[in-house]
Structure 1
Amino acid sequence: MTRHIRHAAFFCALLLIALLANAARIQVIEARTYDDNIANRRGTIARYGQPRGDILVGGTPVTGSRDTGEHLRYERTYTNGPMYAPVTGFASQVYGTTFLEHTEDGVLAGTDPLLSPFPMWKGVARDRNPGGDVLTTLHRGAQEAAYEGLTGRKGAVAAVEPSTGRILALVSAPSYDPSVLSGNGPAVARSWATLNRDQDKPMLNRAVRKTYPPGSTFKVVTAAAALDAGVVKKLDKRTDSEDPYTLPGTRTSLTNESEGCTDVPLRKAFEWSCNTVFAKLGVRVGVKRMAATAKAFGFNDADLRIPFSVAESTFDTKVDKAQLALSSIGQYNTRATPLQMAMVAAAVANGGQVRSPYLVERRTRAGGSTVATGGSRSVRQAMRPSTAALLKELMVDVVREGTGSNAWIPGATVGGKTGTAQHGLGNSGTPYAWFVSWAQGDLDLEPKVAVAVVVEDADPDRGDISGGGDAAPIARAVMKAVLKSPSDDRR
């Protein structure tokens, strides 16, 4: 009898060991598989079972959480949703997350190990902390000015602080309210379908996810390349530039919107935006040096993150001389995001240095303690400091005496460059109106803001379909908002 009891006890012990081993296999080895199983709703329930952390602008939340009392308890809310949508993106219970809601999801949802006082235990227990907050670099006044300036228009605005790379404004128009995608009811699906059917593409972030031909604003890059290469040594020396200019190897003639561009000095060619002068300068610089200068400004960089990805701005490196001529005036295959062109203006303002742009100042726990900071990352020298000083002169002349006069601000030094970019089949589309600029208050030690504005639906009835008429007033409003703010209020 005793022998049978021992056998039974031994068998029960084996069963217990097998049970524990299987439990360990499920809880540790295969935990990830079960967590990711589409039938497992515990993670989803937990995710929406507590308020989400907030995204802040100038210390004030532009997001929130609403208690619905339902199974998926908390839904995302947005303050001034359309104005901040290109920054926040959306957080939807059905369609996931985009932009900062996506890249900062770990902090906002409370799952990032940095939020736990005991990160090692956090990884083992897989618990969820209260959602943390994300503080952006946005300047509230600049964002509002950009959004108001684009009201009723189609286009985008990007503004950065030249010395640091902080993004001060990021606006895309038309926009949408992310809150209509927050829940999981039938209205959310209808809103999603409506937004995706809209031919104006309100969910497209034109500031960072759409590239445009930059037109004459790219002449800033061409001028930098020509000055650095020694092709042009003095701003007021006459150039060898015919008008019209026959593109090399072709019978195609390139003309100008302005008269009197034959052999004009670089200063006047920049002020009057002479296509023929800059096209020939690009050819004389050569594709290798033009491409190198464009790359130093940020073109052909597919890895830029702010922290969400930015569409690659491109300068074609495999072109013949005729194509290079057109590329050098911002046409052919040259494409740029508004953020990229803001970086170009910022490089001029910052002595030739390009600071990588960034959007997140710091991340904090729910109690306010900082767990991570942003800050500028890489620095590139796009041109010699002496070249940047000359380009500042040229851009100031455009505002003082040329096509950028609508950007002039009393009590400040403003530099700018207008642009008109042809597009469409046979250049039949309404030209895009561009303006890139920077501004420095008379009492400031350095330029405080660089801006790029593109307007897609420029007024075709105006004699000057250029950034001077359509885009410069928007840039002026953004720059004024930054310059008039005390430094302590800018974040």
Structure 2
Amino acid sequence: MTRYIRHAAVFCALLLVALLVNATRIQVVQAGRYDDNPANRRATIARYDQKRGDILVGGKPVTGSRDTGEQLRYERTYTNGPLYAPVTGFASQVYGTTLLEHSGDAVLSGTDPLLTPFPLWNDLTRAQSPGGNVVTTLNRAAQQAAYEGLGGRKGAVAAVEPSTGRVLALVSSPSYDPAVLSGNSAATERSWARLNSDPDKPMLNRAVRQTYPPGSTFKVVTAAAALDAGVVTDVDKPTDSPDPYTLPGTSTTLTNEGDGCADASLRAAFEWSCNTVFAKLGVDVGVADMAATAEDFGFNDAGLRIPFSVAPSTFDTSVDKAQLALSSIGQYNTRATPLQMAMVAAAVANGGQVRPPYLVERTTTDDGDTVSTSGSRPVRQAMHPATAVRMKELMEDVVTEGTGTNAAIPGATVGGKTGTAQHGLGNSGTPYAWFVSWAQGERDLEPKVAVAVVVEDASADRGDITGGGVAAPIARAVMEAVLGS
């Protein structure tokens, strides 16, 4: 009898060993395959089983979490969703994450190992830390001013702090409410289809993901290149610039919207945005130096992130002289995002230095303890400091005496540049209205804000005055909001 009991015990022990071996095989050897299996919903259920961390603007959350009581328990909510959508993006149970919701997902979802002092213990117990927070650099008043200034018209606004690169406003219009994509119902699918089929493209982030011909606002870059290269040594000396100007190697002539541009000085040409002067200056500088200056400002940089990616602004380096002339007035293949043009204005305001823009000040735990900060960022010299001083003077003249008077702020020093960018077949499209600027308060030791505004459907007359009439008031409102903060 004892022998039978011993055999049964050995058999049971073998079964136990086999069970343990199989469990080890499943949980260790094949764990990855089971985790990645589309039929495995445990990870998805766990992801939405707790509240998601928040994105903060001015110390206040612009996101939240709603308890649905369903299997995927918590659903993302947004405060003033359309206002902050170009920053937050969306966090959807069906369509994933975008923008800050995507780049900050590890912190917001609680999976970042830096959120807990004992990450190995969490791995063993499969516990998850509460979602942390992402603190942005945005200025609430500036964001609101930019959004209201566009008033639903197609366009975008970007504002940065010149001395640091902190992004103060990032607005794209028309916008959308990310909350309609948060859940997993049929209504979410209908909203997704509607937004993607909308010809106005409300989910397109025009401030950082759309490039436009910058038009005459690019003359800031051309003027800086001409001064740095020594092509212009005296901003008040007449230039050898015929009006009209025949593009090199062609019979095509370039003209101006107004009179008085023939042989105009750089100061006068910048103030009244003479196309003929700047087209010839670009040719005189040459493609190599023009491209080098443009790239120092940030053009042709495919790696810019804030922390989500920014579409590269481009200056064509393989052009003939006629094409270079057009490129130097912000046409032909020259393209820029509003954020890039805000960087151009910021470089002028910051003594010629370009500070890489960034949108996240720091990340924190749910209790507010700092997890990470933005850290130090490299500085690039876009132009000589002496050139930046002269460029500041030229931009101030545009606001005090030229085409940008609508951007003037009483008691503040403001510099700006208007622009009208032609586009479409035969330049038949309604010109884009541009304005780039910077502002320094009466008591400020340095400029506090640089802004770029583009309005796609300006519905105004052609010419640089369009940027001054349509886009400049929006820029002024944003600058006033920052100076008044």
TM-score after normalising by structure 2? 0.97
- Note the C-alpha offset of 1:116: 1.1
Aligned CA distance change for structure 1 residues 279 and 124 (closer, same or farther; 3 Å): farther
What is the Cα deviation at residue 183 of structure 1?
A: 1.1
* Counterparts in 2 of 1:235 and 1:464: CA distance versus 1, 3 Å: closer
Asked if the contact 1:157/1:453 (under 8 Å) is kept, the reply is: yes
CA contact (8 A) 1:141 1:481 kept: yes
d(CA) in 1 for partners of 2:462, 2:298: 33
More deviation, 124-133/137-146: 124-133
Q: One-letter code of the match for 2:373?
A: T
Give the superposition deviation at 1:70: 1.2
Distance 2:120 2:380 in 1: 38
Question: Any conservation in 1 of the 2:273–2:464 contact (CA below 8 Å)?
Answer: no
Deviations 1:91-113 (A, max 9, x none): 11111111111111111111111
CA distance in 2, matches of 1:229, 1:147: 39
Gaps of 5+ in 1: 486-491
Distance in 2 of aligned mates of 1:426 and 1:459: 18
CA contact (8 A) 1:356 1:379 kept: yes
Task: Give, in whole Å, the separation in 1 of the partners of 2:277 and 2:131.
Answer: 56
User: For the Cα contact (< 8 Å) 1:459–1:465, is it kept in 2?
Assistant: no
- The corresponding residue for 1:471 is 471
How far off its partner does 1:459 sit? 2.2
Query: Which residue does 1:171 correspond to in 2?
Result: 171
Name the residue aligned to 2:438.
438
Summarize the alignment of residues 80-229 of structure 1 with structure 2, pairs less than 5 Å apart.
80-229=80-229
Q: Offset at 1:69?
A: 1.1
Quote the residue 1:60 is aligned against. 60
Which of 54-63 and 117-126 deviates more? 117-126
SS in 1 for 2:128: coil
Offset at residue 272 of structure 1 (A): 0.8
Q: Which moved more, 1:41-50 or 1:369-378?
A: 369-378
Native 8 Å contact 2:257 2:463 kept in 1: no
Structure 1 residue 182 displacement after superposition: 1.0
Question: Secondary structure, in 3 states, of the residue corresponding to 2:120?
Answer: helix
Q: In 1, Cα distance between the equivalents of 2:352 and 2:463?
A: 34
Give the conservation status (yes or no) of the 8 Å contact 2:418–2:465. no
Aligned counterpart, 1:347: 347
CA RMSD of aligned residues (A): 1.6
In 2, Cα distance between equivalents of 1:94 and 1:463: 46
Residues in 2 aligned to 1:322 and 1:4: alpha-carbon distance in whole angstroms: 100
Return the alpha-carbon distance in structure 2 between the equivalents of residues 329 and 124 of structure 1: 61
Contact 1:164 1:376 in 2 (8 A): no
Please give the secondary structure, in 2, of the residue aligned with 1:471: helix
Instruction: Give the conservation status (yes or no) of the 8 Å contact 1:214–1:330.
Output: yes
Tell me if the contact between 2:420 and 2:462 (Cα under 8 Å) persists in the aligned partners. no
Structure 2 unaligned residues grouped into runs of 5+: none
- State the SS of the aligned residue for 1:282: helix
**In structure 2, distance between residues paired with 1:209 and 1:124:** 41
> 1:489 maps to which residue?
none
Structure 1 residue 23: Cα displacement: 2.1
What SS does the corresponding residue of 2:176 show, helix, strand or coil? coil
1:45 equivalent to 2:36? Answer no
State how 1:253-402 maps to structure 2 within 5 Å.
Answer: 253-402=253-402
Structure 2 partner of 1:77? 77
After superposition, give the CA deviation of every residue in 1:329-352 in whole Å (9 maximum; x if it has no partner).
100000000000000000000001
Q: Whole-Å Cα distance in 2 between the matches of residues 82 and 106 of structure 1?
A: 24
| Alpha-carbon distance in 2 for matches of 1:463, 1:220 | 17
Compared with structure 1, are the counterparts of its residues 463 and 244 closer, same or farther at alpha carbon in structure 2 (3 Å cutoff)?
Answer: closer
- Decide which moves more: 375-384 or 178-187: 375-384
Distance 1:325 1:461 in 2: 24
- Larger CA deviation: 298-307 vs 32-41: 32-41
Q: Which amino acid aligns with 2:81?
A: G
Q: Which residue is 2:249 aligned to? A: 249
Match of 2:361, SS?
Answer: strand
What is the deviation of 1:125?
A: 4.1
Shift in CA distance, 436/255, structure 1 to aligned 2, threshold 3 Å: same
Q: What is the CA distance between 1:4 and its match in structure 2?
A: 7.3
Q: TM-score, normalised by structure 1?
A: 0.96
* Alignment match, 1:488: none
Structure 1 residues 461 and 279, CA gap change in structure 2 (3 angstroms): closer
How many residues were matched structurally? 485
Identical counterparts, % of pairs:
81
